[in-house]
Amino acid sequence: MAIQRKAPDAARRSPATRRAILTAALELVGEMGYSRVSIEAIAARAGAGKQTIYRWWPSKGAVLFDALLMLSEGEGEGEQLAELPDTGDLEADLKTVLRATVDELNDPRYSEPMRALAVEILLDPSLAEDYTERLDKPIKELKRRRLRKAQQAGQLAPEVDLDVAVDMLWGPLRSRWLHREGPLTAEFADMVVEAALNGLRTHHGAASPASQEEGTIGARGR
pLDDT tens sequence across 106-138:
998 889 899 999 999 999 999 999 999 999 999
The larger pLDDT score, comparing residue 5 to residue 58, is at: 58
What pLDDT, on the 0 to 100 scale, is given for residue 212? Answer: 41
Which residues, other chains included, contact 181 with Cβ-Cβ below 8 Å and sequence gap of 6+?
175
Contact yes or no for 38/6 (Cβ under 8 A)? no
Q: Where are the alpha helices (DSSP H) in 4-107?
A: 15-32, 39-46, 50-56, 60-72, 90-106
Supply the DSSP symbol for 134.
I
What pLDDT, on the 0 to 100 scale, is given for residue 15? Answer: 92
| CA distance readout (Å), 100 to 8, 84, 105, 178 | 42, 11, 9, 17
Secondary structure percentages of the chain, helix, strand, coil, to 5: 70, 0, 30
Residues 15-72, CATH architecture: Orthogonal Bundle (1.10)
pLDDT tens sequence across 31-82:
999 999 999 999 999 999 999 999 999 999 999 999 999 988 764 444 567 8
Do the domains spanning 15-72 and 90-201 agree at the CATH topology level?
Answer: no
- Round to whole Å and give the CA distance between 56 and 145: 34
Query: Domain limits of the chain?
Result: 15-72, 90-201
Tell me which residue of 150, 164, 151, 158 sits closest to 92, measured CA to CA.
150
- Round to whole Å and give the CA distance between 55 and 38: 15
- Round to whole Å and give the CA distance between 21 and 67: 8
Tell me which residue of 57, 58, 67, 56 sits closest to 34, measured CA to CA.
67
CATH number assigned to the domain covering 90-201? 1.10.357.10
Does residue 202 surpass a pLDDT of 80? no
Does residue 8 surpass a pLDDT of 90? no
Can you give the pTM of this predicted structure?
Answer: 0.79
Residue 72 half-sphere exposure, CB side, CA atoms within 13 Å?
22
Supply angle C-alpha 40, 41, 44, rounded to 5.
85
| CA distance readout (Å), 20 to 37, 83, 104, 222 | 16, 29, 22, 79
